[in-house]
Amino acid sequence: MIEQLFGSKTRVKLLHLFYENPNRSFYVREITRKIDEQINSVRRELANLLSIGIITSDSSNNKVYYEVNQKYAYFVPLQEIFGGRKPRKATKAAAKDLPGEEVTEPIKQVDEPADLKQLGNVEIACLLGQFTRDETSGIDVLIVGSVNQNALQKYITELEEQEGKELRYTHFSLEDFRYRLQIKDRFMSNVLLSKKQVLVDKPGLLA
């Protein structure tokens, strides 16, 4: 149904990849590996999405990276379809061309990913650094909450295998995280300033 509506299986897979990872950048071969499609088909659909304005691109380290364009007029409704998030009303930027749409706050991630639930009580989780090509924080994965350390190590190892690179991660209890925020710890300030993909934020401290 969705494939018929949006034109091709590859395009639908790309839309899922970008809208499920709104602050992440991907290069072509990484994309082909993640969605398991032929590189020529991927290149063709990336060109289509670029021409429409749904995604943007830029070059770094001799690679062209692509990511979803969050300023695109229909970013919010498309994210509701492809991003795996509960529907919310459109932001002012996304609603300007949608007559009658009430303007409220932007979409936020509200469902904790299943793989994180296996760690224990995860209050906050986000991907930074290598995932978003922003080294402000100096780390790639942040986990906050009461978690099983063996399960956390397994999660990081599996994520490294999935991404094909070594990852830097940090874990805090929620109490320690709140305290560091309160004293304006430099590391925490860098985390807040950095570009990140928030997987879960139950207390709303990253907003």
Going by their DSSP bridges, the two strands 55-60 and 120-127 should be labelled as unpaired
Place of tokens 């991927």: 42
Would you state the structure tokens that stand for residue 33, as one six-digit string? Answer: 């590996």
pLDDT of residue 8: 85
pLDDT of residue 1: 44
Residues 19 and 83 sit within 8 Å (Cβ to Cβ): yes
Euclidean distance between CA atoms 156 and 166, whole angstroms? 9
Q: Which residues of the chain have pLDDT under 50?
A: 1, 4, 86-111
Residues 79 and 22 sit within 8 Å (Cβ to Cβ): yes
pLDDT of residue 99: 42
Domains of the chain: 1-107 (1.10.10.10), 114-201 (no CATH)
pLDDT of residue 105: 38
Euclidean distance between CA atoms 73 and 69, whole angstroms? 9
Place of tokens 């985390």: 191
Query: Helices then strands (H, E): number in the chain?
Result: 10, 7
pLDDT of residue 94: 39
CA-CA distances (angstroms) from residue 42 to 35, 39, 69?
Answer: 9, 5, 18
CA-CA distances (angstroms) from residue 31 to 11, 39, 131, 179, 198?
Answer: 12, 9, 13, 39, 20
User: Strand pairing partners for 65?
Assistant: 27, 58
Per-residue pLDDT of 55-114, as tens digits, reads 999 988 888 999 999 999 999 999 998 986 543 343 334 334 444 444 333 334 444 566
Euclidean distance between CA atoms 11 and 42, whole angstroms? 8
pLDDT of residue 163: 87
pLDDT of residue 179: 96
